[in-house]
Structure 1
Amino acid sequence: MALLSGLSVPRRGLLLAAGTLAAAPPARQARAAGAIGKLVEGEPKPLPDFTFLDAEGKEHRAADFPGQGLLVNLWATWCAPCVEEMPALDRTQAALAAEGITVLALSSDRGGRAAVESFYRDKGIRRLGLWLDPRGAAQRALGARGLPTTVVVDRGGRERARLEGAATWDSPEMLAAVRRLVGPAAPAREQDKA
Structure 2
Amino acid sequence: MTGGTDPSTKPRRRVVRRLTVGLAAILVASAIGWGGVYGIDALQRNPPGDATCRPALDLAQKIAPLTTGEVAAVSVAKAPLRIPELAFEDGEGKPRKLSEWRGRTVLVNLWATWCVPCRKEMPALDNLQAALGSDQFEVLAINIDTRDAEKPKAFLKDAGLTRLGYYADAKAKVFQDLKSAGKALGMPTTLLLDEQGCEIASIAGPAQWDSPEAIALLKKALTRSP
Opposite residue 40 of structure 1, the aligned amino acid is S
Q: Secondary structure at the match of 2:133?
A: helix
Say if 2:217 is the partner of 1:177.
yes
Alpha-carbon deviation of 1:57? 1.2
Alpha-carbon deviation of 1:91? 0.2
Alignment of structure 1 residues 63-142 onto 2, 5 Å: 63-98=99-134, 100-111=136-147, 113-142=149-178
Alignment of structure 1 residues 1-194 onto 2, 5 Å: 38-42=73-77, 43-98=79-134, 100-111=136-147, 113-143=149-179, 144-184=184-224
Question: Distance in 1 between the 2:225 and 2:122 partners?
Answer: 25
Q: Secondary structure at the match of 2:138?
A: strand
Q: Deviations 1:50-108 (Å, cap 9, x if unpaired)?
A: 20110111111111012111111011011100011100000000111136211111101
Match of 1:33 in 2: none
Q: Where does structure 1 differ by over 4 angstroms across 4 or more consecutive aligned residues?
A: none
Opposite residue 75 of structure 2, the aligned amino acid is V
Alpha-carbon deviation of 1:178? 2.1
Match of 1:4 in 2: none
Question: Distance in 2 between the 1:102 and 1:185 partners?
Answer: 20
Instruction: Assess, with a 3 A threshold, how the Cα gap between structure 1 residues 112 and 67 changes in structure 2: closer, same or farther.
Output: farther
Q: Secondary structure at the match of 1:45?
A: coil
Q: How high is the sequence identity, in percent, across the aligned residues?
A: 38
Match of 1:24 in 2: none
Question: Distance in 2 between the 1:153 and 1:119 partners?
Answer: 27
Alpha-carbon deviation of 1:185? 10
**Hey, which of these two has a bigger chunk of helix by percent?**
2
**Contact 2:145–2:172 (CA under 8 A) maintained in structure 1:** no
Show structure 2 runs of 5+ residues with no match. Answer: 1-70
Opposite residue 170 of structure 1, the aligned amino acid is D
Show structure 1 runs of 5+ residues with no match. Answer: 1-35, 187-194
**Contact 1:37–1:166 (CA under 8 A) maintained in structure 2:** no
Instruction: Assess, with a 3 A threshold, how the Cα gap between structure 1 residues 67 and 122 changes in structure 2: closer, same or farther.
Output: same
Give the TM-score normalised by the residue count of structure 1.
Answer: 0.72
User: Larger Cα Rg: Structure 1 or Structure 2?
Assistant: 2
**Contact 2:149–2:170 (CA under 8 A) maintained in structure 1:** no
Question: Distance in 1 between the 2:103 and 2:191 partners?
Answer: 16
